[in-house]
Structure 1
Amino acid sequence: MKTVVVTGGTDGMGAALARHYLRQGDDVTVVGRSQAKFDALVAALTTEGAPSIAERAHFIGADLSLIAESTGVVEQLKERYERIDVLILAASFIRQQRHVTAEGHEASWVLFFVSKYLFVTGLADLLVSADRPVIINTSVPGTKPGAIDFDDLESARTFSFARSNAQQRRANELLGILATRDPKVSYITWGPSRLVKTSFAGNVGPAMRWASALLAPLIGQEPDKAVQPLVALIADPPGGRSAYRGAKRAPLSEGPDDEHDISRLATSVRIADAGN
């Protein structure tokens, strides 16, 4: 039995992966904002006849755009598990506008990078206790080196959705450098090969919502189908740091300052965490 943690596991691809591993008989903790969605997921699997769901399905409610809540989840996981075989970082909430949380930080930066940093580093001991630990980060790979403005990580001076997204994606590729300092760990930055049908959680403008509503039924994949390449990668992890779009391996965007850049990102997270 594997121990599997899925952030964003109540909807979309995260929920599809949670369903897969619960059907397979693994112990799964879902981290999300909706207890009701988790209960519905478990109820559907119970109706299917999946065995011992109640003993193997766990929920931790949290808003991962808040540093304190991300840290709290990490502590709960450390109390629950002696090892984690699979860590899937799939939480998502799209914002086209800059939003400052009650902690005083930009919400998207915390959700899409800082929380992932806290999970990867805070759970490192549990991951290396597994035989073949795998971290899946559903941050689409391929952003060029130099996408991060270290003087404005939270986009306080200049915000655009494209710029914010590029910073997060680049930071998550670099996070793999820390994750794979132990050679046992596989860290995969992954994006689907094409559009996926989801509820599209977020605070977005009408144009983006209209485009999603129009295109998803026409060309979108069902989440359970979209995650099949991930299931295969988790079953036979490639080792080290890698990037994929669907089942196809993608090149890592490597720059001359990558080691220095991840150190700067680590320092920024420690400063932000200390302030909360």
Structure 2
Amino acid sequence: MVTGGTDGMGAALARHFLNAGDRVVVIGRSRAKFEALLTTVTSDQPVGSRAEFVAADLSLVADSRRVVAHLRANHERIDALVLAASFIRQRRHLTAEGHEASWALFFLSKYLFVTGLHTLLGAVDRPVIVNTAVPGARADAITFDDLEMGKGFSFARSNAQQRRANELLGILATNHNPGLSYVTWGPARLVRSSFAGEVGKTMTIAATILGTLAGQHPDAAVRPIIDLIDTPTPGRAAYRGAKQLTLTDSDRDHEDATRLAAAVADVAAG
């Protein structure tokens, strides 16, 4: 299952596993992009029912809950869950539900998927979650009394908080299922993509030029992810490209993970 599976690295992963003969569920906002993705699948095996699309805007908590409920009702197992949905915002933006959009997309949706789908992941021998949250955030990156950054929002602070929160989510997930492989992963260098988001002209131009000149093709960028999915190792891990990084495992990390779960308990409970 791949969130953000109609663009960039998410689409590259969906295409790879469809070509490999697997069943793939793609979560995204555009069915047209999903249909276009299917035209790039070169497998000799008919795609047919092996490719499923679920439309959702994962910056909306209600949509994340709906997708989780759909998967639980229609699937018995999930071998690999890839959390790759992305939409970059440089400024604070509130959704129609009143949540800060980046926090909702980059953490709340992932929390709901990881916690809501644990039974389906637990139904397989070697489940794996790959969370495309670049590892290595500071331990003090989370503002627990203002998670949605109503005060002093900045793109840098928001990004660091999301990254730290997703590392802590790995502690919660593997505590619940010790056999789970939970990987926070970031590309080794810039990846060519459609760069979806609401950003300034300078960032858009820079990303377009650098991506064209020096960026990896998504198919090449996701090779390390494919290897991690094909040969999962239980426990937490972090990677930049194919290079494994050291993760901390201190008392503070575990205390912060528990504190984070308590802080978003109301959202998870609905």
- Tell whether the structures are fold-level matches, with TM greater than 0.5: yes
Give secondary structure in 1 for the equivalent of 2:141: coil
Give secondary structure in 2 for the equivalent of 1:266: helix
2:202 pairs with 1:207: yes
Percent of paired sites with the same residue: 61
Cα deviations by residue, 1:209-258 (Å, 9 ceiling, x for unpaired): 01101111111000000000111111111220010011110111444322
8 Å CA contact retained: 2:172, 2:258: no
Give secondary structure in 1 for the equivalent of 2:145: coil
Distance 1:185 1:140 in 2: 19
Give secondary structure in 1 for the equivalent of 2:185: strand
Distance 1:115 1:122 in 2: 10
8 Å CA contact retained: 1:145, 1:254: no
Give the paired residue count. 269
In structure 2, the partner of 1:35 is 31
Give secondary structure in 2 for the equivalent of 1:44: coil
The Cα of 1:273 is off from its aligned counterpart by 4.3
2:43 pairs with 1:52: no
Give the residue type in structure 1 aligned to 2:31.
Q
2:174 pairs with 1:180: yes
In structure 1, the partner of 2:139 is 145
TM-score normalised per structure 2: 0.97
Which consecutive segments of 4 or more residues in structure 1 shift more than 4 A?
A: none
The Cα of 1:272 is off from its aligned counterpart by 2.9
8 Å CA contact retained: 2:112, 2:268: no
Distance 1:103 1:191 in 2: 29
TM-score normalised per structure 1: 0.95
Cα deviations by residue, 1:107-148 (Å, 9 ceiling, x for unpaired): 000100010000000000110111100000000000110110
Distance 2:263 2:60 in 1: 15
Give the residue type in structure 1 aligned to 2:88.
I
Matches within 5 A, 1:163-174: 163-174=157-168
2:192 pairs with 1:197: yes
8 Å CA contact retained: 2:27, 2:54: yes
In structure 2, the partner of 1:154 is 148
The Cα of 1:49 is off from its aligned counterpart by 4.9
Give the residue type in structure 2 aligned to 1:138.
T
Matches within 5 A, 1:257-268: 257-268=252-263
Distance 1:146 1:31 in 2: 32
| Cα root mean square deviation, aligned | 1.1
In structure 1, the partner of 2:230 is 235
Distance 1:96 1:139 in 2: 17
Q: Indicate which of 86, 89, 96 corresponds to 1:95.
A: 89
Distance 2:252 2:159 in 1: 20
In structure 2, the partner of 1:272 is 267
Give secondary structure in 2 for the equivalent of 1:111: helix
The Cα of 1:32 is off from its aligned counterpart by 0.5
Distance 2:21 2:139 in 1: 41
In structure 2, the partner of 1:10 is 6
In structure 2, the partner of 1:110 is 104
8 Å CA contact retained: 1:144, 1:253: no
Q: Structure 2: where are the runs of 5+ without partners? A: none
Distance 1:93 1:183 in 2: 31
Give secondary structure in 2 for the equivalent of 1:151: helix
Give secondary structure in 1 for the equivalent of 2:129: strand
